[in-house]
Structure 1
Amino acid sequence: MKVAIFFGSKSDIEVMRGAANALKEFNIDYKAYILSAHRVPEKLEETLEEIEKEGFEVIIAGAGLAAHLPGVIASKTVLPVIGVPVKAQIEGLDALLSIVQMPKSIPVATVGINNSYNAGMLAVQILSIKYPEIKEKLINFRINMKKKFIEENGEGVEL
């Protein structure tokens, strides 16, 4: 099981690191690429063909501004694509709206602005459908998350 992470600029590395961190928590292999849908479309298409041959199963794509990268990727593969709007201008709303407004029949699942960790978690959930060991880890993750929350907040707080 492998996930590909794409983003268009070195400046997106810190935002997209959250996706890698989520995947690492579940021991899911991933590979990250800096490729632009506009500046190197041929290299993007070549890389998409390679990852399909290599058995990647989910793609996470982060983009800001016009945010075409997730949509362009979705138009060139049938693998599930999760878009991460990256905050660049107007608080990232431009990217969010660009990614979420995909044309009919070419969907891109979209998470919150700069929330690549949730993109990683959505990839985990998608993979858990096929891989029972991932599903078991995800169930345990949720149980532990709830326990930790109750331990930290269950007794009330001083205001």
Structure 2
Amino acid sequence: MAKVAIVMGSDSDMPVMSKAADFLDQMGIDYEMTIISAHREPDIFFEWAKGAEERGVKVIIAGAGKAAHLPGMCAALFQMPVIGIPMKTSDLGGVDSLYSIVQMPSGIPVATVAINGGQNAGILAAKILATSDAELLAKLKDFSKEMKDSVVEKDARLKEVGYRNY
């Protein structure tokens, strides 16, 4: 059973959404991924979102651009956490998407990551699931240590070779 549902409004969102999927794969978290347009096929979207809990979904990651209604509509229909990823658009650079997702009405929250923040959405979904999964929490702690070790190694290299040879 998928614990996370990744949904996007268009296949053009795939490069960003795949980063969330890659992180979930890294952590061994089952997920489903789908393309649904809340505007172009509302009947299919409503059925999908209303059935997520029954399918075992605990967190939805929803990416959307421009008007960016998909994450908010997920949050309106799904009573567990929804993480919104605003997509960078050619028109307004993703600021329109960011504002649409973070400016949800009271009572319908959407946790929102940075514009094109696919990996952070995957990490946040994992952290939410880790609140009740000690094995997953250990994997996240290992991931954090790997990030720290990487920075320490880069600093040591800088000190060894200097910035001109870095």
Decide: shared fold, TM above 0.5.
yes
TM-score (norm 2): 0.92
Task: Note the C-alpha offset of 1:52.
Answer: 1.1
Amino acid at match of 1:158: Y
**CA displacement 1:28-62 (0-9 Å, x = unmatched):** 01111100111111111111233211211000000
1:158 and 2:163 matched: yes
Computing the radius of gyration over CA atoms, which structure comes out larger, 1 or 2? 2
| 1:144, distance to aligned residue in structure 2 (A) | 1.6
What fraction of aligned residue pairs are identical, expressed as a percent?
Answer: 48
Can you give the 5+ residue segments of structure 1 that lack an aligned partner in the other structure?
none
Q: Distance in 2 between matches of 1:139 and 1:81?
A: 23
- State the 1:120 CA deviation: 0.4
For the residues of structure 1 that align with 2:54 and 2:107, how far apart are their CA atoms? 23
CA distance in 1, matches of 2:50, 2:118: 23
AA of the residue aligned to 1:111: V
Distance 1:37 1:99 in 2: 14
Q: Greater CA deviation, 29-38 or 44-53?
A: 44-53
Contact kept? 2:62, 2:70, Cα under 8 Å: yes
Note the alpha carbon deviations across 1:45-94, whole angstroms, 9 max, x for none. 11123321121100000000000000011011111000000011211000
1:83-102 → structure 2 map (5 Å cutoff): 83-88=84-89, 89-102=91-104
Alignment of 1:55-134 (within 5 A): 55-88=56-89, 89-134=91-136
The amino acid across from 1:16 in the alignment is M
- State which of 131, 136, 139 in structure 1 corresponds to 2:138: 136
Aligned pairs, number: 159
Q: Which residue of 1 aligns with 2:149?
A: 147
Structure 1 segments, 4+ long, off by >3 Å, are 154-157
What's the counterpart of residue 44 of structure 2? 43
Q: TM-score, normalised by structure 1?
A: 0.96
Identify unmatched segments of 5+ residues in structure 2.
none
Q: Which amino acid counterpart does residue 113 of structure 2 have in structure 1?
A: V
